[in-house]
Chains A and B, each alone.
Chain A
């Protein structure tokens, strides 16, 4: 704690991260570049291009004459989807067979390609209906869609709980992961071992300062979410803070476990950072929905503490539900805490012998 610079980093880092990620990250797809090969050059084709350009999903970035130049543009990464409008598009629309449009998507990122194809389809259907205009089709089913919890589809609603889980887990684990092993490296561990302190006491003493520091981090993250990112806390604040403390304890004890089972700071760091970072990002559910994963991956994801905390924060903060809906997740986190804690003490004792 005497190290001012480290303290500054520990307090400042989560703040900066929540701000950057809260504003910048969204898994919505919008403003994607598209290119046109317009062989028709009539009023209708110009209308369609305008309509695509006007939608929030697409942005016109090029007009080409041939598929080759479109491919070139894909290769340079300038556009993500191309539209081929055949000759006589406007006239064909009014003929019995209708007009044919071709969309070519850059499927090197299949997710984006999939999404864009869906959006493009919707724009075309709208366009068709606009031209058809007043003349109503018989037997029409109208659908009214409501977006629950997040009507503006803001990325922050998803990413604040996600980043919160990620930052707290990694920072807390890293903080304690170095403590015990550092004393081993510096040789001060021997002093501890000959002192009359019980391992449990040493471990708790190691964790308490970091727990206080982490609570400061929770406070700053929540304040920023509410006042800067406009993400509301719909549920009980007490419950949210309580769950956060539980989660921090899980992370701190995981760090202690890593610390007492490694021999050097470098190994501890490697495990807590490289070993945990990507799995936390990918398996906690805020980047990739867990239900979409193959079954073995779904099973693996259960071992990621951040997954459970992400579910809890999302439920309490955004949906505003109570403990009744998250007791299962809470129980799992408590189980993890007990497990990591016992293991850490056990490993610590082995060193004593």
Chain B
């Protein structure tokens, strides 16, 4: 163990003597954790609506008033020129166009049916889908209101009717930050951990100090462990700072136990650090190591289930998410923090991540050669 001790004290000293890096390791995640969760909110509000009204009737005006009264929509333009409306969409000023045709009111009264046209800027699927759905619901409601007003009660009775109620479990306030803050914490931890280790060994190669270690009596696994442990400790410190921020700034207290997350995180960090070391042993320059780790991280992060829905992905992409450690940690984090899951509830994820840790670190030890 004393050999390991020597290596450890060398690595720790190296880290502490580089204050620039230490500052970056702590300051960058803290700033991002304070700023970024505020940006993530899908709750669609302020949908910009352009109205093209060819009817100019009392009814059409009432409809528009109704829509702007909900607070979801902002009527940014009103006119009867179709090209003007299209231009508003092209300029990104409008998300939706509602077109009210000629004789809308008259048709509805005389022919008992009238038509409205809705055009959605569908480049961003979420906004298009949700915005369109909101407006459709709103129009249906408006339709119902008019019926009640215009009809005698006996004709109003629908032959079949269903009333629907909705309940939101686990996060009744629909607070997006409860979901985003723990998720972003996972991503930051992953990036810091992988980046630090990915360039570590290759840096010693570039500077040439690796030769000194190679001629010393230090065993391969001592060397790898000596590289892992300091960063593992750093990672747990970053995690703790993250939880402090989550608690003090965002008021997020996990429903489950902190220790469940820490146990999982301890193993997870080994996976990420091991991957970094693996990249490092295979790279010739720091630039290479950085590019490769960036490549891996970008895939892991974008496909980790925090930003996009895994259920919506094609089957082959779901396989990528199954070998993605980030997916597992985000899932565990979400369940423990919001649903109060215990270690027993996440045994599957836990087993996968343990297996992963052994595989990656085994490979890292095997692939590190003492000869160049």
Contacts and interface: CB of A to CB of B under 8 A. Distances in A.
Interface stretch (A192-200, A221-229, A282-290, A345-353): A282-290
10 contacts: A17-B298, A27-B308, A27-B309, A103-B164, A149-B121, A150-B122, A174-B294, A266-B203, A278-B184, A283-B39
A46 B288 CA distance: 58
Given A24-B303, A140-B113, A111 B118 contact: no
Nearest to A30: B312
Most chain B Cβ neighbours within 10 Å, of A28, A175, A321: A28
Interface stretch (B146-154, B217-225, B257-265): B146-154
Given A77-B331, A110-B179, A148-B89, A118 B311 contact: no
Interface of B: 18, 20-21, 24-25, 28-29, 32, 35-36, 38-46, 48, 89-92, 108-109, 112-130, 132-134, 136-137, 139-140, 142-143, 146-147, 150-151, 155, 157-172, 174-176, 178-179, 184, 187-188, 191-192, 195, 199, 203, 284-288, 290-292, 294-295, 297-299, 301-303, 307-309, 311-314, 316-317, 320, 331, 334-335, 338-341, 345
Contacts of B175: 110
A109 B334 contact: yes
A105 B203 CA distance: 49
B122 A149 contact: yes
Contacts of B115: 141-144
A128 B195 contact: no
B185 to A, nearest CB: 11
A300 to B, nearest CB: 7
A186 to B, nearest CB: 8
A32 interface: yes
Given A287-B307, A292-B45, A25 B163 contact: no
B162 A141 contact: no
Contacts of B119: 145-146, 148
Interface in A1-15: 3, 5-6, 9-10, 13
A158 B163 contact: no
B249 to A, nearest CB: 15
Contact of B41 (A155, A263, A271, A292): A292
Contact of B143 (A110, A139, A271, A294): A139
B119 to A, nearest CB: 5
A314 B134 CA distance: 24
Interface in A64-105: 71, 74-77, 80, 93-94, 96, 98-105
A151 B112 contact: no
B169 A141 contact: no
Interface size on A, as a range, is 35 or more
A151 B128 CA distance: 10
| 7 smallest beta-carbon distances between A and B, as pairs | A111-B42, A24-B317, A98-B161, A107-B168, A147-B122, A107-B171, A150-B122
A279 interface: yes
Given A10-B291, A138-B155, A114 B43 contact: yes
Chain A at the B interface: mostly helix, strand, loop or mixed?
Answer: helix
B124 A101 contact: no
A128 B28 contact: no
Nearest to B35: A300
A297 interface: yes
A269 interface: yes
Contacts of B113: 136, 139-142
Interface stretch (A119-127, A237-245, A246-254, A334-342): A119-127
B284 A5 contact: yes
B18 to A, nearest CB: 8
Contacts of A289: 44, 124, 126-127
B49 to A, nearest CB: 12
A201 interface: no
Nearest to B31: A275
A147 B169 contact: no
A120 B133 CA distance: 11
